[in-house]
Amino acid sequence: MSAVTDTVPSDQAAAERVRSVLAHAVSLSLTTDGQCYDLIGMHTVGQTGRITLTAQADSPLTAQVAAAPHGSLAVLLEFTDIAPTPLRDRVRARVTISGWLAPAGPTDVVGEADGNGGGEGLRLDLARVTLRTAAGTQEVSLDAYALARPDALAVEEAAMLTHLADAHADMVADLVILAGSRLPYGVVRALPLAVDRYGITLRCEYREGHCDLRIPFPIEARDAAEAGEQVRRILTTPSCSHHRHPSPRA
């Protein structure tokens, strides 16, 4: 199979991808000097991207922050974006965020419309944001990150993809058929990989490697219902363009 043909996204697009990953992430890995924590359901992300963690007052992480010089602890946060469908290679992206963790004050919570309002809050002051995908690694500027918003379908994406795979395998097959000669011969399985307001991506697997088929929507979708309608429009309008992104991964 040929090499990946995706291009590295612009800073704005990469920032939106990062915010989308964070919007649906339920867990993260946090590393400090000498300690590693797997945190599940313990973080929130504010409108401007401010990350706040909830930790018990007597937790080891809270103790580390309290013992750090000036009450600020250098940390590394890692979020892994995993496809909800049973693909061979389910990792779609990795987001790495570094910064300093400090006790959150009242203004840190009040200032964020969807901030964390309960428990012992720990505020992350950002230093660096990095996005890694099959296209490569890109550092995202902090300004772009703060201004970006998650994709309109980010929170609903997992439910949409699993429903499509479980209940509408015929639609997935029809979408692959639309690609026709655009796909290499020998597809053994196809599953939905991702969906956003601009289109849907299918993972076409072969005996060795896979090929990602990007199918743009006729018009931008504002929610899950509109995305479903766009898929139906694609199936009744075969002239829509499709983009293939082959990968050598097995």
What are the 10-residue block averages of pLDDT along the chain, 250 residues in total?
48 97 97 95 96 93 93 96 96 98 74 47 97 96 98 97 96 89 85 98 94 94 97 80 51
User: Is 223:150 a contact under the CB 8 Å cutoff?
Assistant: no
Do 191 and 162 reside in the same domain of the chain?
A: yes
| Cα–Cα nearest to 95, from 15, 184, 11 | 15
Do 96 and 143 reside in the same domain of the chain?
A: yes
Last-in-domain residue among 99, 126, 147: 147
The per-residue pLDDT for 8 is: 54
Q: What is d(CA 241, CA 250) in angstroms, rounded to the nearest whole number?
A: 26
CATH assignment at residue 108 = 2.30.110.10
The per-residue pLDDT for 184 is: 80
**Contacts with 6 (C-beta within 8 Å, 6 or more apart), sequence order:** 133, 134, 135, 245
The per-residue pLDDT for 111 is: 42
User: Is 173:41 a contact under the CB 8 Å cutoff?
Assistant: no
Q: What is d(CA 202, CA 89) in angstroms, rounded to the nearest whole number?
A: 13
Listed in sequence order, the DSSP H helices in 76-147 are 106-110, 142-147
The per-residue pLDDT for 1 is: 32
Kindly state whether residue 39 falls inside one of the protein's structural domains: yes
**Structural domain harbouring 214:** 157-247
Kindly state whether residue 1 falls inside one of the protein's structural domains: no
* Strands 51-55, 120-133: pairing kind: antiparallel
The per-residue pLDDT for 107 is: 60
Alpha-carbon distance values, 57 to 61, 66, 70, 76, 110 (Å): 9, 10, 18, 21, 20
Last-in-domain residue among 116, 147, 178: 147
User: Is 61:55 a contact under the CB 8 Å cutoff?
Assistant: yes
User: Is 150:16 a contact under the CB 8 Å cutoff?
Assistant: yes
